[in-house]
Amino acid sequence: MKYSKFIPSISIFFISLFPIILSQQPYIRQAITLCESTDNSTSALGYTCNGLNRSCESYLTFRSTPPFNSVPTISTLLSINRTQLSRLNSVTENAIFETSQTVLVPVTCSCSGQYYQVNTSYIIRQNDTYFSIANNTFQGLSTCQALQGQNSQLTQNLNPGARITVPLRCACPTRNQSDGGVNYLLSYLVTQNQFVSSISLLFGVDTGRTLEANGLSEQDFNIYPFTTLLVPLQDRPVSTQVTAPQPPPPPSTTPPESVPPPSGGGSSRTWIYAVVGVVLVSIVVGGVVFFIKKKKKSSETDVTTISSKRFESVEKPLKKEEDEDSNEFLDSLSSIAQSLKVYTFKELKSATEDFSERFLIKGSVYR
């Protein structure tokens, strides 16, 4: 009992070291809409200046959206050198992008006070709010909290025509990341139906590293549209990584590890067991989902909305959860679903060698 006094002070010591040594940057989650909040533990004000360097080469993404759908308009909006923007995206200096295309943006990220940022400026239009500027115009590359923090003299009335500073979210690698071979952090704008694993795959980055870079984990991996996810890169990003059609995810039942099994003969047995398992689980899950849906049909919350919200990045971050129990259950479903997702018909087809007789078990189930 003598030592019990020490325990609190020791834990305080470790807790206070924790953010400095281990944590990279916290993911913003749904804090994007909490414009009145000044909670600085969520990265809503910006990514903390905790990197090895106070300034670094960094990257953002932006989705081409009229009127910001060309090299000139995007480089003006984000105050980016037009030549560099066009080169990075392998297009001409006047190129127009397809709507919704992901555009890579090269920036120099630097510390301003305690946060990393890239500055651009913006002229207020009628009916603008800090939220609409951050979310609708800058797509989540900035936040209402950060805008408010840096333009405090204008907090009450946003006068059309006034120019404000817009801090864009960027970060530099921490010592831990740099030691691990990370040279750049890319602020990736999450859109609908994306997972940490699918985004990591685009850039050939280990999902675990991306989760870690954002203070997320295998148990806590939900991401939302109009937020930035930091992708830790070893090499500079190239345009084909964001414009090429997304390759099918590797067949793995634990997405964060994402180690594709070797295609050699030795592993094919386990592989086949995995396929059978997944087919069975999907039948069970399908049944359960159907059951719940039926059961909850009369209640005002549509279960499919919640479940898809759990599986994927979601559109309406503010939506309140209503049924704790079913959400917990859906959480576990969502992890199963994530593993289910990875088997495409094509993969099944090749795993069973085009559904050959050899793999048939009792008529309709392939192994």
Q: Please, which residue, 180 or 261, has the CB nearer to ligand NAG? A: 180
Least distance from C-beta 136 to ligand NAG, angstroms? 4
Window of 72-80, 178-186, 287-295, 357-365 that interacts with ligand NAG by CB under 6 A: 178-186
Give residue 119's Cα distance to chain centre. 22
> Nearest distance from residue 39's CB to ligand NAG, in Å?
8
The correct pick among 26, 106, 149, 173 for binding ligand NAG (CB under 6 A) is 173
* Least distance CB 274 / ligand NAG (angstroms): 28
Burial class (CB in 10 A: 0-12, 13-18, 19+), 117: buried
122 beta partners? 164
d(CA 242, CA 189): 11
Q: How many CB atoms lie within 10 A of CB 311?
A: 20
- How far, in Å, CA of 309 to CA of 111, rounded? 35
Report the residue from 61, 120, 142, 150 that binds ligand NAG according to the rule CB under 6 A. Answer: 150
Per-residue binding string, ligand NAG, 199-228, x by CB under 6 A, is ---------------------------x--
- Least Cβ distance, residue 61 to ligand NAG (angstroms): 15
Under the binding rule (CB under 6 A), the answer on residue 180 touching ligand NAG is yes
99 binds ligand NAG (CB under 6 A): no
Q: Is residue 73 a contact residue for ligand NAG (CB under 6 A)?
A: no
Among 11, 37, 76, 83, binds ligand NAG (CB under 6 A): 83
Whole-number CA gyration radius for the chain: 23
Cα 203 to Cα 45, 189, 253, 318, distances in angstroms: 26, 14, 20, 30
Please tell me the total number of residues recorded for the chain in this structure: 367
- Among 10, 12, 20, 22, contact with ligand NAG (rule: CB under 6 A): 22
Residue of the chain from 28, 31, 34, 48 that contacts ligand NAG (CB under 6 A): 48
CA distances from 207 to 16, 38, 251, 257 (A): 27, 30, 14, 7
Rounded to 5°, angle at Cα 341 from 340 and 344: 105
Q: Which of residues 317-356 bind ligand NAG (CB under 6 A)?
A: none
Name which position in 4, 9, 16, 127 contacts ligand NAG (CB under 6 A).
127
Nearest to 122 by CA among 76, 164, 78: 164
Binding residues for ligand NAG restricted to 183-202, rule: CB under 6 A? 183
By the rule CB under 6 A, 308 interacts with ligand NAG: no
Please say whether the beta carbons of 319 and 342 come within 8 A: no
Distance CA 100, CA 347 (A): 29
Q: Which is nearer to ligand NAG, 52 or 276 (by Cβ)?
A: 52
Residues 6+ apart with CB under 8 A from 166: 119, 120, 121, 122, 133, 138, 142, 147
Q: Which window, 92-100, 108-116, 285-293, 349-357, contacts ligand NAG (CB under 6 A)?
A: 108-116
Interacting residues with ligand NAG (CB under 6 A): 22, 33, 40, 48, 52-53, 56, 81, 83-84, 110, 112, 114, 119, 126-127, 135-136, 150, 165, 172-173, 176, 178-180, 183, 226
